[in-house]
Amino acid sequence: MPTQLIPYHQYTVNAVIGALLLVLECSQKGQKGFYGASVAVDPDSLVTPWLMACWLAGVVLGLRRAHGILRQWYPLADIRSSPRSSTCKEVAAYFLSLGWHLRIRWGPSLQSLANRYSRSTGQFFFGTPSQSRTRRRIPVQR
């Protein structure tokens, strides 16, 4: 299983997490939105604030889905998700618990976790491949 990829995404897991780490750093500096992080990445990557917001939503879904497995390996007891909580703060809490931040070499740790998760579950860490997606039924009008 190509664990460095996210199904239906043009960018790798490392690129997505790296961009989101920039989002969190900008947020800690008091910036709102995703603009600051989008201008900090390579301009040739064509990453937009909207794309980063989509990535944040996808990553938080992946982390929530993986929470039960991850808590066997990492201290996640203090992480809670609720409709009232900030998605950015929830992702920041996960990243902190997983030991990912911009001041360290987080890529090998991320890849190791993605490999371990995929071996344990047979799933991608983030995203859903086409064979695992459910078909939406469209009601037939008569």
pLDDT in tens, 90-125: 999 999 999 998 888 888 899 999 999 999 999 888
In-domain check, residue 43? yes
In-domain check, residue 5? no
Mean pLDDT of 16-24: 92
In-domain check, residue 39? yes
In-domain check, residue 103? yes
What are the φ/ψ torsions at residue 123 (nearest 5 degrees)? -120, 160
Tally the domains of the chain.
Answer: 1
List CB contacts of 69: < 8 A, sequence separation 6 or more: 117, 120, 121
Percent of the chain with pLDDT over 90: 46
pLDDT of residue 74: 94
Query: Sign of the C-alpha dihedral, residues 30, 31, 37, 39?
Result: negative
In-domain check, residue 116? yes
Q: Mean pLDDT in the chain? A: 86
Boundaries of domain holding 97? 13-126
In-domain check, residue 87? yes
Whether this prediction's pTM lies above 0.85 is answered by no
